[in-house]
Structure 1
Amino acid sequence: MKEIQAIVAALCRDDCGPSVLATLVTAEGSSYRRPGARLLVRADGGRIGSISGGCLEEDVLARARRVAASGEPEVAVYDTTSENDLVWGVGLGCHGVVRVLLENVPVRPAWAEALRDNFAARRPTWLAVTYGAGAARGTRLADGTESGPGVRSETVAPPTALAVFGAGDDAQPLVRLAQELGWVATVADPRAAFATAARFPAARVVSGSSDTLVGRVAPDAGTLAVVMTHHYVHDGPILRDLLAGPAAYVGLLGPKKRAEKILADLAAAGAEITPAQRGRLHAPVGLDLGADAPEQVALAMLAEMQAFLAGRDARPLRERTRPIHG
């Protein structure tokens, strides 16, 4: 997600200049990146993104210079299945075939501006990348109905929204790591002195009473929320309102017994906590990584959230019998 955000931001700058965009359009067998991976090569030689673990980039950069000079798009095919090919094969540890479209892109292409605007509005964007012979190759806005040989249709979702309720010191590494993933963070706390732009410079900060805080943040169905105020009196109302709302994932930091007591107290106060709502609650939040320090706890929380987003069970990859990307 962070990659496409950075590419879009660069293309929407007036000083970007003409660039070449390399898009991985098909992958058969094993490959480090999956279709949709992109590498932007700017006119000044700078680059953003990647289409491999580094093994294909040198050749792609050479091709990008050729595409920039000719003005014509090009499709590169990299076959890493040959056991005897020490350039693209076993020397790199890959065993697949990937196709990469290289195209010239102007400053502020329409599809990049649409992505920028839709990211801000938290709307999906449909793109079509045409790479087949005999067609006008390139990336364009689409309506989700494009299909057929030589066309890759893609829905680009807005950045993942993370709502952190609690602006203590342990929230800072959580927000930093989330932003490294390209997530958009909101930090909310009843204590205005904690929820400040100085403490969370790249996040939206919100303050208010614990009874109104969730309403001020307004999480939607795509929001991942975590409650970590470390104050029982605040955690209860915030958790109540989050479970009553649409947030897909609600995490609560702290021991399981504490979570059960909060839920019991909410029920005693008249709040109806349904089985479906409890099913969205992750308490204690995070995976068992043996975490202790704030950075480790943040990693454990984000790891569980990423597994949730991907629909994975977070077990070790060595236990998988299917391909990693399957």
Structure 2
Amino acid sequence: MKELSRIVEAYDQIADTSQKAALATVVKVQGSSYRRAGARMLMTDDGRWTGAISGGCLEGDALRKARQAILLNQPSVVTYDTMTDENASRLGVGLGCNGIIDVLIEPIDYLREQMDLMRVFKNFLKDRKRAAIATVFNVEESMQEGIGQRFVTDSQGNALSNITVPLLKDQVHADILPALAKGQPLNKVYAVEKGRVEVSIEILHPSIELIIFGGGYDAAPVVKLGDTLGWQVSVTDDCIAHTGSKRFPGACQVLHAPRENVVEQLSITPYTYTVLMSHNYAYDIAVLPQLLATDVQYIGILGPKKRYLKMLHELEQKGIILSEKDQERIHSPVGLDIGAETPDEIALSIISEIQAVHQRSKGGLLKEKKGFIHERS
């Protein structure tokens, strides 16, 4: 989401100028690649780009293709086949991932004429709710004008479409809603009057919203790392000395609130993750039941296991018995086991665990993982 924000910002800088630009989007990946479908980069005719579609191997060639697309004001799909070193050498790229990557390149002027995709992105960044974008990228020769046509659906099911290929719109609509509900991308081939059409259905997910309870000195590196990843980070404490906004420049909110009803003053969404790290047992035991009463999916608690067991015992005495689901969403001690000692290392451990939970990963060593690094849709 941070990369998408940077692309929108770069677009706004040239929107009212005569500068030309094109948007490149990875629409399909077969085999291995550095980036997955949905990766984007905005390229301007002066040779600059924002975002990335690979680890730096394809960007130069994509820029050359973008200049041609801008000149013709027509979208095109470029296929980078690096399954063999011979193919990679012929393409003039140093990609060693052994994959096939399809990249859709669209001039910005053409995009404006067909669908204001940047406005779609802006609305998504503002609303912070899941959305789906279905993009036509592979058609038979008689339907070349269909490349780049889209069907967009927001979290409420509201649709925007410029699909004109006969029979395609209804078929895409039937598939995009289930994909949006599951939050899973999809590539599918459809049969229409003039042949076959391939469509990439991409799901836009809001970034993580991290709430830190406790504004001590070790909260600062957690805020910094979260902000670096593009997360929306909030800090709250009932100690006025811990809630100076200058202490957490990367936080989107610093809230001074009493512990007894602090959660009422915060917004909890499906993308909210929380960490209790106040170093104050009385504060944490006051906030934890409030979080358990919400649907927040992750509750990290800083401190040793013994401290957490003490909290459980005290909650039981108050008649609060944790369900199996509650036990699954509580992570105490918080963080991955990376041998962290310093506040910066502990912050890395905490942030890494949240990222792993968010992506449904076990957070182990990649060299011990069986199968692909990324799950395949």
Question: Shared fold by TM > 0.5?
Answer: yes
Query: Separation in 1 of the partners of 2:123 and 2:148?
Result: 21
Tell me, in whole angstroms, the C-alpha distance in 2 between the residues paired with 1:139 and 1:283: 48
Gaps of 5+ in 2: 154-172, 177-187, 191-196
- The equivalent residue for 1:136 is 146
Which amino acid is 2:106 matched to? E
Q: Is 2:289 aligned against 1:240?
A: yes
Give the Cα separation in 2 of the matches to 1:114 and 1:77. 26
Structure 1 gaps, min length 5:
none
* 1:155 equivalent in structure 2: 203
More off after superposition, 255-264 vs 131-140: 131-140
Corresponding position of 1:199: 247
Alignment match, 1:121: 127
The answer to whether the aligner puts 1:313 opposite 2:323 as a matched pair is: no
Cα displacement (A) at 1:306: 1.0
Amino acid at match of 1:23: T
After the TM superposition, which residues 63-142 of structure 1 pair with which residues of structure 2 at under 5 Å, given as runs?
63-85=65-87, 87=89, 88=91, 92-106=95-109, 110-133=116-139, 134=143, 135-138=145-148, 140-142=150-152
| C-alpha distance in 1 between matches for 2:16 and 2:308 | 52
Distance, in Å, in 1 between the alignment partners of 2:88 and 2:11 is 36
Q: TM-score, normalised by structure 1?
A: 0.92
Q: In 2, are the aligned partners of 1:167 and 1:188 still within 8 Å (CA)?
A: yes
Percent pairwise identity? 37
Could you tell me which amino acid in structure 1 is paired with residue 99 of structure 2?
A: G
Matched AA of 1:73: P
Q: How does 1:180-259 map to 2 (within 5 A)?
A: 180-203=228-251, 204-259=253-308
Q: CA deviation at 1:57?
A: 0.9
1: CA distance, partners of 2:239 / 2:119: 37
- State how far apart, in whole Å, the 2-side matches of 1:297 and 1:43 are: 44
Aligned 8 A contact 2:58 2:95 in 1? no
Measured after TM superposition, the shift of residue 252 of structure 1 is 0.3
Are the aligned partners of 1:228 and 1:252 in contact in 2 as well (CA < 8 Å)? yes
**Are the equivalent residues in 2 in contact too, given 1:23–1:36 (CA < 8 A)?**
yes
* Paired residue secondary structure (2:244): coil
- The superposition leaves residues 185-219 of structure 1 with CA deviations (integer Å, 9 ceiling, x where unpaired) of 11111113322321222321111111111111132
Code of the residue aligned with 2:50 in structure 1: it is I
Following the alignment from structure 1 to structure 2, what is the Cα–Cα distance between the partners of residues 92 and 159?
29
- Contact 2:211–2:275 (8 Å) recurs in 1: yes
CA distance in 2, matches of 1:193, 1:121: 33
Q: Deviations over 1:254-288 (max 9, x none)?
A: 10100111121122233343232122100000011
Q: Which has the higher helix share?
A: 2
Aligned residues: 326
Specify whether residues 225 and 83 from structure 1 end up closer, same or farther in structure 2 by C-alpha distance, changes over 3 A only: same
Check the 8 A contact 1:38/1:51 in 2, yes or no: yes
Give 1:300 deviation, angstroms. 0.5
Q: Distance in 2 between matches of 1:139 and 1:159?
A: 26
Counterpart Cα distance in 2 of 1:15 and 1:206: 38
| Aligned alpha-carbon RMSD (Å) | 2.2
Matching residue's letter, 1:188: T
CA positional deviation for 1:43: 4.4
Q: Which residue identity does 2:132 align to in structure 1?
A: W
1:261 aligns with 2:310: yes
TM-score, with length taken from structure 2 = 0.80
Deviates more, 1:313-322 or 1:98-107: 98-107
Whole-angstrom CA distance in 2 between matches of 1:92 and 1:45? 21
